[in-house]
Amino acid sequence: MKVTASLPPVLVEVQNTIDLKFVQRITENSLVVNKEHGALPIVVVFGIQPSKSNVANDLVQSYQVPLAKEYPCKPWTKSCYIVDPTTINSLFKNNHLNH
């Protein structure tokens, strides 16, 4: 697969529980993608359970992807978006209050 200059590779992961050990694994996977394709990937993670506090405490709201929160990721990936039950519930709670 060829990566173009305008479209970075995308790494999608599904994980039962997002914890620091998982973050270390996606860091390694992102570096492999960068080495193979010469471009930092965008990482999208779908968590089945809420993220562990050692990860959740570092998440910030994403303005580009409303259902997601961003995890600090430079220099190992271009962006890292995390979607889990907590991020989805917070979006619905905020939208409900605005109506």
Distance set, CA 35 to CA 20, 28, 38, 41 (Å):
23, 11, 5, 10
How many residues would you count in the chain?
Answer: 99
**% residues pLDDT > 70 (the chain):** 89
Please say if the pLDDT value at position 46 is more than 90.
Answer: yes
Mean pLDDT of 56-78: 93
Please say if the pLDDT value at position 40 is more than 50.
Answer: yes
Rg, the chain, Cα only: 14
Residue 97: the pLDDT is 47
